[in-house]
Structure 1
Amino acid sequence: MSKLILLLLILFLALHPSSPRPEPYAMRISCGARLNVHTAPTNTLWYKDFGYTGGRPANASPTSYIAPPLKTLRYFPLSDGPENCYNIKRVPKGHYAVRIFFALVAEPNFENEPLFDVSIQGSQIYSLRSGWSTSDDQSFTEALVFVADGSLSSCVHSTGHGDPAILSFEILQVDDKAYYFGSNWGQGTILRTAKRLNCGSTLSKFDADYNGDHWGGDRFWHKATTFQQSSGKVRSVESKIKKASVSPNFYPEEIYQTALISTDSLPELSYNMDVDPNRNYSIWLHFAEIDVGITNVGQRIFDILINGDIAFKDVDIIRMSGGAHMAIVLNKTIAVNGRTLTITIHPTKGNAIINAIEVFEVIPAESKTLTEEVGALQTLKNALGLPLRFGWNGDPCVPQQHPWSGVDCLYDKKNLKWVIDGLTLDNQALRGFLSNDISKLHHLQSINLSGNSIHGTIPSSLGTITGLEVLDLSFNFFNGSIPESLGMLTSLKRLNLNGNLLSGRVPAALGGRLLHRASFKTATWAGLGFSIFQTAQRPM
């Protein structure tokens, strides 16, 4: 019987072979678009605009020939808040290439070139520099990130130099091990694309234009027929390249079918690029021996130097790859102290050769704010009627360069999360009510909501914020009695309820004093170690 079952299983597997690997997740958004869009030449689908926290649609003036041919964008006036985001839900757990193209608003009276910062998953990855709109390299930013919780967020942060504007937003799944570079690689790391060159190519292309595997993430490869310090000669072939499009990076075969080769008069190939100082960079160098004159081991040998230090010695492509027309990739991650990264191919036998170069900035991923506390702040934002100019989009504490206005953050080393330890929203024309959800901010030490027009009762849940030291609700329209629960705030050093519509007794734990709809001067209970400022009636 067991043999029969085994034979049936073998027959079933023969008739029903295992399914091929599914297509990677892909989400492309045409910002500002009201309808889905397909673009030539690959008939790429761009979804109509969704997932944004604010901003306004407008016509677009793309800044680069490499930008997708989309006609709309979304821009974010500073009056609508300094931070605005795209929050995409139900993204499968995995590894993603995220790419954002920028554009100019095609309307009169707009500043030609806004400057702003960009973050992904709470980590700042890019700052637009003056002149970006005339530079292909700077018209977009791209990074490799991990998604573990089913959502992906990217935010633009105003720096006061014009209104940020986004042409498109792409999320493209790549292999879980894509661009693995060593022990520091993982979910705590973001790789921002700093440079990607197809050496020897006369055309710049995306992976899709190369008919590349979709698991490659549709990378963009800039043409490079010359370097700054050494021109070299271009070599191209149509021969098939082995070991090119393989897991985990799935490089398009065509990037290995062209190369720059040094000349006898200038035997070195040297490439320079500007970088931000005191950062780590992961460098990926691509080789395939496509020179008809090089067919055996030992005919071409070279060293690879990065900023003058030998990164790879005695590189022999034929020996390392197994033969001609076979791809190999070498990776080195280094710390760069200065503002220049120099890659030098120094031959010791024959001439130098290079097929493609990739450089990534290694960015430590920021720890996020405790999810429950982010949700509590969003509830407070709506309940208090926070003015639009505050924004309060994205993560309140990260990137650390752009915390939410009025929110103080503290890093919880135990849970490796940011928490909220202070709210300072005095004199901000708030007209709502104070939600019970404020108690979910249980790390608060200080609350100052004075000088607004907040109405309703004081939430009894405030008494559960045991570390609260300062509570100032003065000069609002709070009514009802002072909650007995405030007596549980044993850490409280200062309580100010002056200028409200409160009535009834002061809880015994706060001093046991009656309120008779009359103003009281400051009363200090030395034994309790704090002051109470109160008035029961506020002039209308």
Structure 2
Amino acid sequence: MWKYLLIWMIISCLGFTLCFSRPGRAPFAMRISCGAQQDSQTKPTKTRWRKDFGYTGGISVNGTRPSYITPPLKTLRYFPLSQGPQNCYDINGVPKGHYSIRIFFGIVIQQSVISEPLFDISIDGTQTHSLKPGWTNEDDQVFSEALVFLPDGSVSICFHSTGHGDPAILSIEILEIDEKAYYFGPQRGQGIMLRTVKRLSCGYGQSKFDIDYGGDPWGGDRFWQHIQTFGQGSDQPRSVETKIKEASLPPNFYPESLYQSALVSTDSQPDLTYTMDVDPNRNYSICLHFAEIDNSVTAAGQRVFDILINGHVVLKDVDIINMSGDRYTTLVLNTTVSIDGRTLTITLQPTGDSDAIISAIEIFEIIMPESKTLSEEGLFPFLISAVVSKASTYQKRIRALQTLKMALVLPSRFGWNGDPCVPQEHPWTGVNCQLNRSIGKWVIDGLDLNNQGLKGFLPNDISKLQNLRTLNLSENSIRGAIPSSLGTITGLEVLDLSYNLFNGSIPESLGQLTSLKRLNLNGNSLSGRVPAALGGRLLHRASFNFTDNPGLCGIPGLPTCGAHLSAGAKVGIGLGSCVAFLLLVTCSVCWWKRRQNILRAKQIAARAAPYAKARTHLSDIQLTKHHPHPHHHRGNAHTAAENGPVLLS
């Protein structure tokens, strides 16, 4: 009996240990030293940094650290506006899971003037941070940190210019955390992002990272800013070296040292109040950390207080010993609040004669992730998709974007990196988007790229953009034929390809665009007959312009197709004329030679005629002499008499 009971107890203990211990493997960690050409290692923690990779543009230069907490790295990557308003790091090979993503900013010194750039940051299409003036003077503002869930093995981290200096990035850290880290209820789903606004370690001590506290790596190596007082003489620090129970446990793995110091309110000012500025009209998750380390409080009920946010009670009758179970034991309380104004005030208000106490504060902005662009549109698969069929999602995205830039010869100032439609504050230049609520995705409903210096061609697979309503590529130098696949975008309302270098005929398929309201094909080198279905409907339902196309015919306002031949017909007629001309020349030459031969023969005959006559007369005389018979004379006289008078001498 006792043997079975012992076995059951051992199994129960093992099960408890497995449920509440950290995972057996080390957390995934990727640290990138931006602008670096080689892998490196930094002291004193011997942190390993990978050389720069995954970026879409930018320039590598020597960097300057704005704060002592910035990693001691020598280079950075900055993104001048001339290379586009948004540039990204597209990182592949990140396992599915929850991560703390931290980006340290750098400073580029130009002409001895320190430039403090202000720009926006987005992660997988969701804007997570906007730098504010003066960030170089605040240690906990020299980096941006967000807690995110990455579902597909990759992450895109983009930097968006706002016109106030070029984004400059010193390093990027992608650190795996526990799957239930900072779980605060059902609303903390996989899609929710948390942006770190503030982390405070109260009381004695120094500003440190988890690694400096000796914290567990599954905590994500957080930075805790030390604060020794909330101000106005309302508090005083406390600290102990006593071991703290229930610290550094999953899912958040808070370092034990965090709870060995605290701020305690004074008798003259029993309320303990912390105030800070925040962005208005946002939702915030607030974690408050406690451990009863005051020797004057030894039992439950001796210290009880309410917690107020902006004057409203959010947690009532907080008793640390009662709620944690003992002295020197951690207690973490979480609340979610909506802030309308620009100030967040946290007040610990005692309900009796005791004082209030607090060890640490964490404040996060709750960010709902943006719906991404529909994948077949966002990745632009109409760009040589066969080339990337065996590539990863990350590689397909990068190659597709690069191919698009090459196909249209897009100027570098366009950028076109990241998601075309999100964040909503920074869509791609010339791209119009609309949220399709039925599928929860953004779709591209317009491309407005007129007069942008494009010199490429329009690929057939543009038909993948089935949600297009407007396509304006006018006043560029786009060559080649008009893709027949345009006729499959049945919702197209405006098609403007005017003043380009399009050639060939107008595809018959354009007659299928039943929603078309405006069609401009003027100013090109198009030829042939305007499709009957297209012309007939346009005359009644839409405006159109086919002028300045010398080879077009077939509708009112253009030459009739009989009177105005196509280029092919002109070539045929030209070839026929040449053949006929050659035949005519050949016949003329033959006739002329024959004529010359006849004339030459006549000339020869004419020269030979006098000699022939002389021989004839002589013969006649000789015949007369040799035949003097009288009958002969009579015969001759008779003949002469019959033919007329004869003169005799």
Q: Same fold (TM over 0.5)?
A: yes
Secondary structure of the structure 1 residue equivalent to 2:24? coil
For 1:28 and 1:408, locate their aligned partners in 2 and report how far apart those are by CA, in whole Å.
Answer: 35
Are 1:363 and 2:387 an aligned pair? no
Letter in 1 for 2:546: F
Whether the aligned pair in 1 keeps the contact of 2:32 and 2:173 (CA below 8 Å) is yes
Whether the aligned pair in 2 keeps the contact of 1:448 and 1:471 (CA below 8 Å) is yes
2:323 corresponds in structure 1 to 320
1:46-85 equivalence runs, <5 A:
46-85=49-88
2:150 corresponds in structure 1 to 147
1:4 corresponds in structure 2 to none
1:515 corresponds in structure 2 to none
Are 1:435 and 2:459 an aligned pair? yes
Whether the aligned pair in 2 keeps the contact of 1:111 and 1:162 (CA below 8 Å) is no
Match 1:202 to one of 202, 205, 213: 205
C-alpha change, 1:170 and 1:309, in structure 2 (3 Å) is same
1:311-335 CA distance string (max 9 Å, x none): 2121111111010111010001001
Say which is worse superposed, 329-338 or 430-439, in terms of deviation: 430-439
Match 2:404 to one of 359, 366, 380: 380
Match 1:123 to one of 117, 122, 126: 126
For 1:465 and 1:534, locate their aligned partners in 2 and report how far apart those are by CA, in whole Å.
Answer: 24
For 2:30 and 2:111, locate their aligned partners in 1 and report how far apart those are by CA, in whole Å.
Answer: 32
For 2:204 and 2:368, locate their aligned partners in 1 and report how far apart those are by CA, in whole Å.
Answer: 33
For 1:372 and 1:110, locate their aligned partners in 2 and report how far apart those are by CA, in whole Å.
Answer: 45
For 1:104 and 1:435, locate their aligned partners in 2 and report how far apart those are by CA, in whole Å.
Answer: 42
Q: How far did residue 230 of structure 1 move?
A: 4.2
1:28-107 equivalence runs, <5 A:
28-107=31-110
For 1:463 and 1:405, locate their aligned partners in 2 and report how far apart those are by CA, in whole Å.
Answer: 25
1:206-246 CA distance string (max 9 Å, x none): 11112211111111000111113445222222222111111
Unmatched segments (≥5 aa) in structure 1: 1-13, 513-523
For 2:95 and 2:169, locate their aligned partners in 1 and report how far apart those are by CA, in whole Å.
Answer: 24
1:104-154 CA distance string (max 9 Å, x none): 113426652111111112111221111111221221111111111222111
Whether the aligned pair in 2 keeps the contact of 1:380 and 1:434 (CA below 8 Å) is no
Secondary structure of the structure 2 residue equivalent to 1:392? coil
1:246-293 CA distance string (max 9 Å, x none): 121111111011111122222221111111111111110001111222
1:533 corresponds in structure 2 to 546
Q: How far did residue 530 of structure 1 move?
A: 4.1
2:10 corresponds in structure 1 to none
Secondary structure of the structure 1 residue equivalent to 2:376? helix
For 1:429 and 1:277, locate their aligned partners in 2 and report how far apart those are by CA, in whole Å.
Answer: 42
For 2:140 and 2:298, locate their aligned partners in 1 and report how far apart those are by CA, in whole Å.
Answer: 36
2:613 corresponds in structure 1 to none
Q: How far did residue 405 of structure 1 move?
A: 1.2
2:312 corresponds in structure 1 to 309
Say which is worse superposed, 424-433 or 308-317, in terms of deviation: 308-317
2:424 corresponds in structure 1 to 400
Q: How far did residue 80 of structure 1 move?
A: 0.7
1:66-465 equivalence runs, <5 A:
66-108=69-111, 112-347=115-350, 348-376=352-380, 378=401, 379-465=403-489
For 2:365 and 2:38, locate their aligned partners in 1 and report how far apart those are by CA, in whole Å.
Answer: 35
Greater relative contact order (CA < 8 Å, ≥ 6 in sequence): 1
For 1:123 and 1:63, locate their aligned partners in 2 and report how far apart those are by CA, in whole Å.
Answer: 26
1:7 corresponds in structure 2 to none
Unmatched segments (≥5 aa) in structure 2: 1-13, 381-399, 552-649
TM-score, length-scaled by structure 2: 0.76
Secondary structure of the structure 1 residue equivalent to 2:25? coil
1:16-74 CA distance string (max 9 Å, x none): x9996221111111111111121112111111111111110111111111111111111
Q: How far did residue 454 of structure 1 move?
A: 0.7
Whether the aligned pair in 1 keeps the contact of 2:63 and 2:106 (CA below 8 Å) is yes
> How many corresponding residue pairs?
513
Match 1:470 to one of 491, 494, 504: 494
Letter in 1 for 2:410: L
Match 2:503 to one of 479, 483, 486: 479
| Higher strand fraction (1 or 2) | 1
C-alpha change, 1:324 and 1:351, in structure 2 (3 Å) is same
Whether the aligned pair in 1 keeps the contact of 2:234 and 2:270 (CA below 8 Å) is no
For 1:20 and 1:528, locate their aligned partners in 2 and report how far apart those are by CA, in whole Å.
Answer: 67
For 2:515 and 2:56, locate their aligned partners in 1 and report how far apart those are by CA, in whole Å.
Answer: 37
Whether the aligned pair in 1 keeps the contact of 2:519 and 2:542 (CA below 8 Å) is no
TM-score, length-scaled by structure 1: 0.91
Letter in 1 for 2:435: Y
Q: How far did residue 534 of structure 1 move?
A: 4.2
Are 1:22 and 2:46 an aligned pair? no
For 1:339 and 1:30, locate their aligned partners in 2 and report how far apart those are by CA, in whole Å.
Answer: 35
Letter in 1 for 2:97: G
Secondary structure of the structure 2 residue equivalent to 1:511? helix
Whether the aligned pair in 2 keeps the contact of 1:225 and 1:231 (CA below 8 Å) is no
